[in-house]
């Protein structure tokens, strides 16, 4: 797999400048199993563990964070189908996901709702014809091209976490209006987009109200952990490229790496990366063991995002203007580190989460 990913590096050059990956690239990824890493073998997947998925995410993100996010989000919907969908829905959609004939997405974020998941405003109404959905989702990975979505919507009163359900929606249905989401931090390989649902029929209820919100809180720990691993991989790639450049580029008669002042930022970057990797490994182990990983996942993501946001620019500085060339990773990874700070829980929200979880462990009950 690593060799295939490295061979795609030239194709990723334009992805930070608005180019989109060729659909054939996703089919090539599917051919080596990347759309079904943790999908059980009995459903046609690879049947690997979460720990293996994290390694896959690291390898992909070292080249391009957006492409890694696109693939992992498609494969996650495939896993959801295995767990919750009917035989008919599995037969209809799962082979297409595994073959990358369609991409898929999980739709939580709305124009007025981000980290506050309980405030979801998209409405789900049960009728004689089944569930009907009305609302808007935005900033969704794969949103601009996904054929299938797990859409979270409110079936009860506003703000009622137990009223939130997860619904399988065919995004090619009438009543779905799709749009791309673009920004100055171009990450078109992530396929970021949104869609408006106007009385759209859901294919199925895959996460019933009363269980969906709890599922979100559990599964987001895994997402935070693999995003942390991706940030570690991006920083590792930046360090490696800058160090390689410094060993060859000569200044005043010596390689750049000869000068202590040039080397100093690498010591700080390597130290923070080692600490971040340790926190990420702890979160991975807890998720694999089925332990409560809320605190570990939040700490891992905070550390990894902060390390990437701090040190990738310093590695670019160590490269000088040469680092701005598109064949190097810096333009992509600088943007991606900022995007990662919002993905699956903004850093400020996670800091508060860590403070509250830590406080709950140290508070002594009043007598």
CATH superfamily, region 2-102: Acyl-CoA dehydrogenase/oxidase, N-terminal domain (1.10.540.10)
Q: State how far the Cα of 329 lies from the Cα of 314, in Å rounded to an integer.
A: 13
Q: Provide the pLDDT for residue 23.
A: 83
CA distance 7 to 19: 18
- Sequence-separated (6 or more) residues with CB below 8 Å from residue 277: 232
Q: Is the pLDDT of residue 57 over 90?
A: yes
* Residue 226 pLDDT > 90: yes
The reply to whether CATH 2.60.40.10 applies to domain 105-208 is no
Q: Which residues lie below 8 Å from residue 271, measured CB to CB, with a gap of 6+?
A: none
Mean pLDDT taken over the chain: 93
Q: Mean pLDDT across the stretch 313-337?
A: 94
Report d(CA 216, CA 104) in Å as an integer: 17
Q: Helix (H, G, I), strand (E, B), or coil: what is residue 94?
A: helix
Distance separating alpha carbons of residues 194 and 172, to the nearest angstrom: 13
Percent of the chain with pLDDT over 70: 93
Q: Report the distance separating Cα 276 and Cα 278, nearest Å.
A: 5
Superfamily of domain 213-362, CATH level 4: Butyryl-CoA Dehydrogenase, subunit A, domain 3 (1.20.140.10)
In the prediction, which pLDDT does 19 show? 66
Asked if the model's pLDDT at residue 13 lies above 80, the reply is: no
Question: Domain limits of the chain?
Answer: 2-102, 105-208, 213-362
* Statement: residue 367 has pLDDT above 60: no
> What was the pLDDT predicted at 86?
95
Q: Where are the alpha helices (DSSP H) in the chain?
A: 2-7, 9-12, 23-31, 50-61, 65-84, 87-98, 212-248, 260-289, 294-319, 330-340, 347-362
Phi, psi of 11 (to 5 degrees): -70, -25
**336 pLDDT higher than 90:** yes
Q: In whole angstroms, give the CA distance from residue 285 to residue 349.
A: 23
The pLDDT value given to residue 233: 98
The stretch 203-208 carries a mean pLDDT of 96
Query: pLDDT by residue (tens digit) across 241-293?
Result: 999 999 999 999 999 999 999 999 999 999 999 999 999 999 999 999 999 99
Confidence category of residue 24, pLDDT binned at 50, 70, 90 = confident
Q: From CA 52, how far away is CA 58, in angstroms rounded? A: 10
Place 22 in a pLDDT band, splitting at 50, 70 and 90: confident
Q: Are 221 and 297 in contact (CB under 8 A)?
A: yes
* Average pLDDT, integer, range 17-24: 73
């Amino acid at each position: 797999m690593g060799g295939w990913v490295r061979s795609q590096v030239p194709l990723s050059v334009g992805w930070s400048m608005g180019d989109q990956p060729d659909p054939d690239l996703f089919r090539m990824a599917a051919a080596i199993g990347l759309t079904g890493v943790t999908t059980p073998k009995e459903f046609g997947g690879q049947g690997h563990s979460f720990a293996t998925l994290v390694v896959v995410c690291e390898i992909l993100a070292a080249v391009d964070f957006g492409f890694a996010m696109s693939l992992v989000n498609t494969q996650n919907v495939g896993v959801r189908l295995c767990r919750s969908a009917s035989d008919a829905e599995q037969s209809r959609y799962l082979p297409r996901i595994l073959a990358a004939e369609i991409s898929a997405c999980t739709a939580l974020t709305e124009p007025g709702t981000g980290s506050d998941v309980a405030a979801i405003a998209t409405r789900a109404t049960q009728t004689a014809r089944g569930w009907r959905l009305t609302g808007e989702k935005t900033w969704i990975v794969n949103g601009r091209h996904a054929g299938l979505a797990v859409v979270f919507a409110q079936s009860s009163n506003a703000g009622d976490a137990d009223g939130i359900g997860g619904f399988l929606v065919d995004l090619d249905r009438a009543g779905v209006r799709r749009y791309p989401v673009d920004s100055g931090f171009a990450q078109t390989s992530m396929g970021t987009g949104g869609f408006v649902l106007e009385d759209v029929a859901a294919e199925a209820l895959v996460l019933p109200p009363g269980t969906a919100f709890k599922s979100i809180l559990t599964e987001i720990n895994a997402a935070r952990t693999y995003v942390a691993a991706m940030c570690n991989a991006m920083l590792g790639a930046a360090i490696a490229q800058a160090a390689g450049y410094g060993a060859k580029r000569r200044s005043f008669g010596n390689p750049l790496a000869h000068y202590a002042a040039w080397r100093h930022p690498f010591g700080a970057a390597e130290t923070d990366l080692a600490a971040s990797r340790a926190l990420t490994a702890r979160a991975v182990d807890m998720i694999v063991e089925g332990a409560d990983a809320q605190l570990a996942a939040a700490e891992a993501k905070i550390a990894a995002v902060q390390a990437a946001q701090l040190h990738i620019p310093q590695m670019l500085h160590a490269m000088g203007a040469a680092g701005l060339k598109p064949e190097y990773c810096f333009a992509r990874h600088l943007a991606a580190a900022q995007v990662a700070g919002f993905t699956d829980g903004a850093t400020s929200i996670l800091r508060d989460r860590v403070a509250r979880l830590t406080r709950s462990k140290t508070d002594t009950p009043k007598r």
